[in-house]
Structures are given as structure tokens and as C-alpha cells.
Amino acid sequence: MTFFPLFHNTQQLKALLIGGGTIAKRRAKSLIEAGVVCDLMATAVSEDLTRLVESTGGLVTIDAYSSDEVMLGYSLILALTDDRAINQQIATDAKGMGLLVNVADFPDDGNVIFGAIIDRAPLTIAINNGGASPVLSSILRQQLEQFVPKAYGQLASLVGAYRSQLKDALPSTAERSIFWHRVLQGPVAEAVFSGKHSEAESLLKNHLKEVDSGLDKVMSNGEVFLIGAGPGDPDLLTLRAFRLLQKANVVLYDALVSDGVMALVPESVERVYVGKRRANHTVPQTGINQLLVDYAKQGKRVARLKGGDPFIFGRGGEEIETLAEQHVPFQVVPGITAASGCSAYSGIPLTHRDYAQSVRFVTGQLRDGSVDLPWPELVVEGQTLVFYMGLKGLPVICEKLINNGMDKNMPVALIEKGTTQDQRVLVSDLASLPAMIKTEQVMSPSLFVVGRVVSLHDKLAWFTSSRDV
């Protein structure tokens, strides 16, 4: 590590920028926004840079650098001229006076550098690679920005306001650490992230009041995160889902959650498989519901990972009904449902002005195992049908649709393991598909799409899986 990161109190910094180009404007803007008083010296200065410096009381001097006397009274010097020799002289003089100095484009000539910053005041995250690649730092900042919600700053302000109060209540540093770790990863934090600031402060105050009753009591409340894992591609997981996975103590996952998504679960997290395949339920639904309650009441943060979206043929409603009855806190994170994800990766738009003006999601397997559906309602021109869990009943579905008036030549697609590298798309017509799947050995999970939009597959298919190579 060549440059060690330090954070300076901007109220105690006064900067002199020597040079008036584009970099000077960028540096002045960053420093002024952070609260640093800036003066500027240059042989030529643009009007907008002059206004920027003078807007906060800074002075602009039109002159060339001549001696270190101009640095008196400053704590930070920025050498930003177009002449490297002059910048080197400025840096040498500044270091001789024991000052902080930054040199544009040549970080080793100075003794401080500017990193990429994620500002979540009062929280600040700085990225530093020793000046090797400012562009790389910028790219990393953009990637990190999406994983650090702006609400983190509000959370920092909230807990900061109560640090002294907790210190009085819990003299032990170790106990305070345990308390804040749980608060910052529990309902208080989630309330802040949801925009419920009053509720968050109320929860925090209640925790502080309960400290006198013992830390175990304060920390005994668990929570359940009902998370939609999407159709398979881990890149389709939402940012909120990813964040909650990182703070979970235990994950209950089903058979439709892909290996790619499970790879995002930290190694330290307990994993409980509760998968359900046709006629093979590892854990009955009532058992899953009770497991969620039991883990939460042990004070654990429980992530319930469900393939697709938990509220679309995912029994998510049944699970949170039990949680609500048992007064277990929970939150629901929507996921990309299989119909949307798989059709998109197959180049099949579910709606299209020329082919389909509506779309209908249908379960291909009812509670009693039958496929007794309102068939006349499903046979509508200009409508796309998407059947979930319909592989076993597919021959019956095709027969019923035709018998109720659907064109036997209606384009259909069977999408196997959609959005993953094992994706396979079988395109046929309503009458021919049952015979095709007998020879193709299609596996679950598979999605069945019926409608004229399927005819666009050959033209719009964009995703290439390992099976297409």
C-alpha cells in the first residue's frame, strides 16, 4: 500500500489550487462541496471557475507561481498547471513546508492523491488504487454505488445520535459492538431503508430502553425475508435481495433456486433445503411455514429464497400468512417471475401490438393434481398464455385448448431451464408439441408459452446458452 487512506476534517482545511484548467475546476468543485475553503492562483481562469471559487468566499489571483511564500496559511496545495516542471517545483516547496500536496497526473510527485468517492454523508467511502488508474476507481465506484443505498447516510446519522446514550448503558465495548451489529442489520436498519424514519427511531429507542433488561432480550427478535430469486440467472437478482442475503443467518431455499444464486449466499450462512418437486416434497408446506417461525423466534434473520417471484405460483402468500399469525416480522422482495425472464431470454415478447394485447399466467397443476381449467376463457385471440408447472399435463393442456376452439397450428414454445446456460427453447405448434417432447426428454423447470408472439422467436432470439454452441 503506497497511499494510506486518511479522512480530514474539511472545516480545518484550507486549499490553494495552482492552475486554472479543467482539472482545477473538477478539484475545486469536489473540495468546495465537501466544505473546504479554496483559493486559486493561475495565469488564466475561466469565468465559471472564478464564480465557483468566489461563491464560497475564496480568492482568485491571476499570476504565475513564483515562490513558496504564496503557500503560507494553507494546509493543502494542488499543483494543477500544464507544466510538469512547475508542478514538481510546487510539490517540492510544499513538502518542504510540511504541507499536503497533490500533483495532477503524477501522484508520486506529491504526497496525497484524490480517490473516487461515494458520498452518503456522514458516511463516506473512498476508493484508492495509488493513482494507477483513475478510470478503474471510477468504474468500481459506479458498481459500489448500487449496493450502498443513500439511506445508509441516514442510518449513520440515526445511530450516531444515540452512541453516547448506549455507552452509558453498556460500558462493555464488546456488548456495544454486539448491540450495534444487530441494530444495523435488523428492523431498525430496514425501517430506514424503507423510508420509515420515525418508526426506525422509535424501534431504536425501545431497544435502548430494553438494554437494562439484558442484551439477550434486545437481540431476541428475528425477521424473515421472503425473497424472489428469479428464474435462474443470478444477474437478475434485485439489489435489495442481494443485500438481505448478505445479512441473513439462515437461508431456506427450494429446488428452483439456481446454483448461481446460491453462490451469492455467504459461506457462513446456514442453508436448509426445503425443495419441492412433483410428488417429492422434501419438507411439506406446513413444515416450511413452521421452520420460518421457529428460526425467527430464535432471533435469526431468515432468508426464504423462492424461485421466480414468491407471489406468482410460489406459495409466498401462504408462508407470510403463518408469519403474520405468529407475529413474526417479515418483508417481501419481489423477483423476476419465470414468465417474464424466460420469455425475454427466448426472444418471445409476451405482448406485442400486432400479436397479443394481453397475457395470462396459468398454473398447469392445481392443488389436487388436475388440469381442470376454465378452458373457454383461455381460448382468446390476441392473448398470450404462459403455463407454469405444466410439463406433466402438457398433452392434456394442448388437447383441451384445441377442443375448445384454439387453432391447432397456434405457435407454442417450451422453455427449459430458462435464463441459465442450460436454456433450451423448443418451438412447435399446439398439435405437434406433445409428440415432440416424447423424443426431446424435456426436464423441469420448464415453461410453456402459447400464442402468436412465439413466431417472433427466430427473429428476436438474442441469448446464447451452452446448448446453442
Which residues does the annotation mark as catalytic?
254, 276
CA 72, 76, 82, 84 torsion-angle sign: positive
Task: Give the residue ranges of DSSP H helices in 337-390.
Answer: 338-345, 375-378
Q: Which residues fall within 8 angstroms of residue 185, CB to CB, at 6 or more apart? A: 247, 301
Q: How many CB atoms lie within 10 A of CB 372?
A: 9
Q: Which long-range contacts (CB under 8 A, 24 or more apart) does 25-31 make?
A: 25/49, 25/52, 27/78, 27/80, 27/102, 27/114, 28/52, 28/53, 30/114, 30/117
Report which residue type is found at 412. Answer: V
257 and 306 Cβ atoms separated by less than 8 Å: yes
Q: How many CB atoms lie within 10 A of CB 231?
A: 31
Angle at 346 between CA 344 and CA 349, to 5 degrees: 45
Per the listing, cell 483513475 goes with 134
What whole-number distance in Å separates Cα of residue 257 and Cα of residue 316?
14
C-alpha cell at 347: 426472444
Say how far apart CA 400 and CA 371 lie, in whole Å. Answer: 10
Give the torsion sign (CA, 395, 399, 402, 407): positive
Beta carbons within 10 angstroms of residue 147's beta carbon? 12
- Sheet with 301-306, strands from edge to edge, namely 270-273, 250-253, 301-306, 223-228, 330-333
Query: Alpha-carbon distance 306 to 254, whole Å?
Result: 6
Rounded Cα gap, residues 124 and 33, in angstroms: 13
**92 to each of 40, 78, 96, 331, how far by Cα in Å?**
19, 12, 6, 58
The C-alpha angle with vertex 182 and arms to 295 and 229, in degrees rounded to 5, equals 55
Closest CA to 258 of 392, 386, 388, 417: 417
Provide the residue count of the chain. 469
Burial class (CB in 10 A: 0-12, 13-18, 19+), 268: exposed
Distance separating alpha carbons of residues 339 and 149, to the nearest angstrom: 29
